Structure 1
Amino acid sequence: MKLIHAELIKLASLLSAWIAAGLATILPAAVAVLNSRSQVSRGIDAGFQDLAPGVIGAIVIGVVAVSSEYLVEGAESGGGRQITTSLTAVASRSRFLLAKAAAVAVTVALLALLSSAITLTTTSLTDETVSVGTADLPRVAGVTAYWILTALLASGITLVTRSGIVPLTFCIVNMSVVSVSFLLTKLTSWANYLPDLAGMHLFLRDVHGSVDIAPLTGGLVMGLWVVVVAGIGFIVFRRRDA
């Protein structure tokens, strides 16, 4: 618990993490307000679809939690890196990574729940055709799981690259500008099992894909991707110098 607490304090000290938290909380609600003014019916996914862009905040948190360890500190601090101090304080690299993953998961889970409450409430207030109730709680859990898995996936990629530029660029572009995964479904149906598309089935019921995937299956597929990527990151982290 002490290690997790220490990692939570590290996250709280990062300005980028606070910006990401604000983005994850405000962006979905703003999208919900804009969509409520549209004359097009959004169907069963109204409100929940608006929560998808908020995962960008989860991605940023997952990336900076790892990349911040490799930033070179100022000359007044000796020009070192946080990772050196971290590994000096925690002898076990396994425990260090588990604590970091837990801190990311806890932070993102709280943000997902808060954002879901704000966004779904905003949706029900601004769109009289939408009604959100206790029956939607499993989908809120799905949103939370999707955000957590996405953040951990981003952390795993960053662990391999030791830089936040590549994972941030790819993940955010893929999530917000053009979905490479969706384009690949035009070439092969196997692309539906890429982590972002498979994971969306956790909370969306009208996913435009060529394969029908159950929510539980989608979650398991995305979870498997996270295990594989995080496993590669762990092996690389264990074998190379800090």
Structure 2
Amino acid sequence: MRIFHSELSKLFSLPGIWLASLIGAFAPAVVAALDSIAQKEDIIAGVSTRLPEVGYIGLGFGVQGVIILGVLAVSSEYLTESSESGGGQQITTSLTVVSSRLHFLLAKAGAVTVISILICIVAIITIVPVTHLILGEYTPAFEWSRLIGAVCYWTFTALLAFGLTILTKNGIIPLSVLMINSSVVSFSVLLAKVTKLAFYLPDRAGIDMFMSMSDRYHTPFTGGLVMFAWVVAIFIAAAIVFHRRDVAS
């Protein structure tokens, strides 16, 4: 528990984490508001085919904050400190204090999980009133089961970013790929037009936990299991690589 508290404190000391938190907490509300405004006339006319997605779409596109969180949690350990501090890396100090690399990773992953959940809860709290303000009586009901699915999606996404950064030992690659995939163009959606195997990619399966899309392939529970399996697999691979790697290299 002491290691977990230490990692939590370490994350909150990073300026980038506060920026990630702001993006994650409020960007979804902006996306949901723009989508609600764009659909308002069709919703009032009763011709909107995307009514079940209103509000939730902000949670689908607004995971950039937790992606940054997952990447920074690892990449910050490899930043070279100033010459006044000895010019070393934080990871060396961290592993001196915590002898077990597995305990270190679990504590850091736990801290990422807690912060991701908190950010997503704040995002939900901002999305609901904004959507009601724009759509009024036409606002679809926000179901608890789908909101829980969104929280799981955000948490799993943050942990995927965390695991991929450990594997690559580079924050730029996972950050770029995951940010583009979640905001500009989804590679899994494109691949799904070619093969159904794409529906088993983590982001595509995870979306089914809370979005009611016309091409939904999994039930919310199955989608969650598929994404969780990816998280476990990547974390195991990351733990093995991290255990064998010379962190000073």
Runs of 4+ in structure 1 displaced over 2 angstroms?
Answer: 39-42
Residue ranges of structure 2 left out of the alignment (5+ in a row)? 43-47
Residue in 2 that maps onto 1:2 = 2
Residue in 2 that maps onto 1:81 = 89
Residue in 1 that maps onto 2:29 = 29
**In 1: Cα distance, 2:215 partner to 2:15 partner:** 36
Residue ranges of structure 1 left out of the alignment (5+ in a row)? none
| 1:145-224 to 2 correspondences below 5 Å | 145-208=152-215, 212-224=217-229
AA aligned to 2:154 is W
Residue in 2 that maps onto 1:108 = 116
Retained in 1: the 8 A contact 2:188–2:198? yes
Output one character per residue of 1:108-159: Cα deviation in whole Å (capped at 9) or x when no partner: 00111111121022112211211435xx111111110000000000100000
Q: Secondary structure at the match of 2:80?
A: coil
Output one character per residue of 1:70-116: Cα deviation in whole Å (capped at 9) or x when no partner: 11111111110000000000011111000000000000001111111
**In 1: Cα distance, 2:140 partner to 2:205 partner:** 26
AA aligned to 2:10 is K
How many angstroms does 1:240 deviate by? 1.1
Retained in 2: the 8 A contact 1:199–1:218? yes
AA aligned to 1:96 is F
How many angstroms does 1:207 deviate by? 5.0
Which of 61, 76, 92 aligns to 1:53? It is 61
**In 2: Cα distance, 1:53 partner to 1:230 partner:** 24
**In 2: Cα distance, 1:188 partner to 1:53 partner:** 23
How many angstroms does 1:46 deviate by? 1.0
**In 2: Cα distance, 1:19 partner to 1:31 partner:** 18
Provide the identity percentage: 47
Retained in 1: the 8 A contact 2:146–2:210? yes
Question: What do you get for the CA RMSD once the two structures are aligned?
Answer: 1.2
Deviates more, 1:60-69 or 1:198-207: 198-207
Retained in 1: the 8 A contact 2:23–2:65? yes
Residue in 2 that maps onto 1:226 = 231
- TM-score of the superposition, structure 2-length normalised? 0.93
